[in-house]
Amino acid sequence: MRTVALSAAFMLVVFLLVTWAVSYQMVSHSRQDRKQVQAVYVASKEKELRHYVELGHATLARIAQGNGDEAALQQQGLAALSRMHFGNDGYFFVYDRFGNVLLNPGSMGIDGVDFCDPADTGSDQARMLINQAHAGGGIVRYNWIKPSSRAEAPKMSYVKTADHWGWIIGAGLYMDDIERELAAFDANAARTLRDTQIRLTAFAIGSVMLISLAGLAWNLRNSRISGEKLRRLARRVVSSQEEERARVARELHDGVVQVLVSSKYLLETAQVHLEQDTEHKPDKGPAQDLPPARRHAPQALLAQGLGRLQEALVEIRRVSHGLHPALLTDLGLAAALRMLVEQLRPQRAVDLRFTERGAIPALSQAQRTALFRVAQEALNNALMHAQAGWVQVTLAGGGQHVALVIEDNGHGFDLNKVRADGKGGIGLRNMRERIESLEGSRFTVHTGSGGTRVEARLRLSPSEPETQAKARRGRRLGHHPPARRPAA
């Protein structure tokens, strides 16, 4: 569950970062688009103003070329410009060469709008218009009263000089419509950004919920699988214990118990002979008059009984060695494997060999036990089921590696079938689990019609050789377990 929570948190952080990145990109693109839209609108307004002013300038030029008094022609030109309106709030304005107002909104019938008069105190707009015209003409931007709304609004005017009379002619357009268009553009961009963020957030929440549900389902499934594995493992442990108990009981019954029963019979027989000899009366003759066979029978029976007891001790040692060989702790894995092979060789008509190669590093108790149990199980399988002519056990070491190989020339088995069998193949699974429970280990099985090869390989960590070297130095200095006392 912790893994699912971490995954969900990670996904949420990723979605937040993605949302921030998308929002940042959208805002950046929106600002760029706004600047482009504003530039297009402004360029359109400038072009429109130039067109109007050029039209008015052409009208004045045409009138100036007419016949008549100059003053009358000028009045005719001003009258023509006063009749030329464009849009709801567009009009022309004219100054003479001295900066006096010749045409203004009031003379054009537009009420409620003052005009830029240079004579007025603080009329900076008029001076900007006149100076721009004397500089060659161009665009001037300022705020002014809009006729239709009677409110101040940003305005853009274009001015130029009329060379034939030296007048300054201009026209202006208000920019508040551009501001409204840009405000609508900003509102649309903000709405698009908000909708995108809402969609991303909903997608993130949905994804996190799906991941959580999937993780919950996965955890439940894993819990069921783990529970089933634990139950199977418990059954296998119980089965292995019962098999081991049955094996020990069988070996005790077929070996030790039979030898002890035979010894008991021989000793009881010797006891009967001794009792009969002690009951022999002097009036029946001395014991020396008994036949030699009768006289030496108790000693022979006692000798046989002692011999059978010795066999029982050997059999008990063999069974004990199978359960946990003392050589494995005292002398190491190689000696224990060699003893195992020596004990099994007389029992089977198979060429059973053991080979030690290289320098075997000192192993931990868990490593030695795991390799020894693998050798026991593999040898038991080879001798019981493989019908092999020879079995080779090889223990090889070098550096930080130890390898145990058990191979035979038997008929092999179907490895996939054994793995798929839930009830069989316990020994193979036990061997694999024993080795794979050790760090840096590998267990492989190769089988076929030509035989079977079981290999267990351990890779020691760099810290283990130092511990092993200290253990070897301790043994050389005399810090070793006491020698086992021989049995009487």
CATH number at residue 72: 3.30.450.20
CA angle (224, 227, 232) in 5-degree steps:
125
If we measure between CA atoms, which residue out of 180, 113, 109, 124 comes closest to residue 147?
113
- We report the CATH number of the domain holding residue 425 as 3.30.565.10
Q: Please report which residue ranges of 324-355 form alpha helices under DSSP H.
A: 326-330, 333-344
- Dihedral sign of CA atoms 199, 205, 206, 211 in order: positive
Q: How many percent of the chain have pLDDT more than 90?
A: 12
Of 181, 212, 230, the last residue of a domain is: 181
Residue 205 lies in a domain: no
Q: Judge whether 34 and 190 are in contact, CB under 8 Å.
A: no
Write down the mean pLDDT value for the chain.
78
| 270, part of any domain | no
Sign of CA dihedral 16, 18, 22, 24: positive
CA distance 421 to 451: 21
Please indicate, yes or no, if residue 372 is contained in any of the structural domains. yes
Domain presence at residue 214: no
Please give the single-letter amino acid code of residue 134. H
pLDDT-derived band at 122, boundaries 50, 70, 90: very low
Domain count, the chain: 2
Please write the tens of the pLDDT for every residue from 287-344: 455 555 555 566 777 777 777 777 776 677 666 655 666 667 777 889 889 988 988 8
pLDDT of residue 293: 54
User: Residue 175 falls within a domain, yes or no?
Assistant: yes
403 forms beta bridges with 396, 457
Range of the domain at 445: 327-476
Place of tokens 């059999």: 315
More confident residue, 463 or 248: 248
Q: What angle do CA 297, 310, 273 make, to 5 degrees?
A: 20
What residue has token string 């080779």? Answer: 392
Q: Could you tell me how far CA 457 lies from the centroid of its own chain?
A: 28
Task: Please identify, among 127, 162, 181, the residue that sits at the C-terminal boundary of a domain.
Answer: 181
- AA identity, residue 464: E
End-to-end Cα separation, the chain, in angstroms: 62
Q: Compute the residue count for the chain.
A: 488
Q: What backbone phi and psi angles, to 5 degrees, belong to 112?
A: 80, 10
pLDDT reading at 207 higher than 70: yes
AA identity, residue 433: E
Please identify which residue in the block is written with the tokens 């810290």.
463
Positive or negative CA dihedral for 293, 295, 299, 305? positive
21: CB partners within 8 A, 6+ apart: none
Q: Is residue 93 part of a domain?
A: yes
pLDDT tens-place string over residues 10-48 = 777 877 888 888 888 888 888 888 888 888 888 988 998
Is 45 within the bounds of a domain?
Answer: yes
Contacts of 305 by beta carbon, 8 Å cutoff, 6+ apart: 263, 266, 267, 270
Residue where a domain stops, chosen among 128, 152, 181:
181
Q: Give the DSSP letter of residue 155.
A: E
- The answer to whether position 488 is within a domain reads no
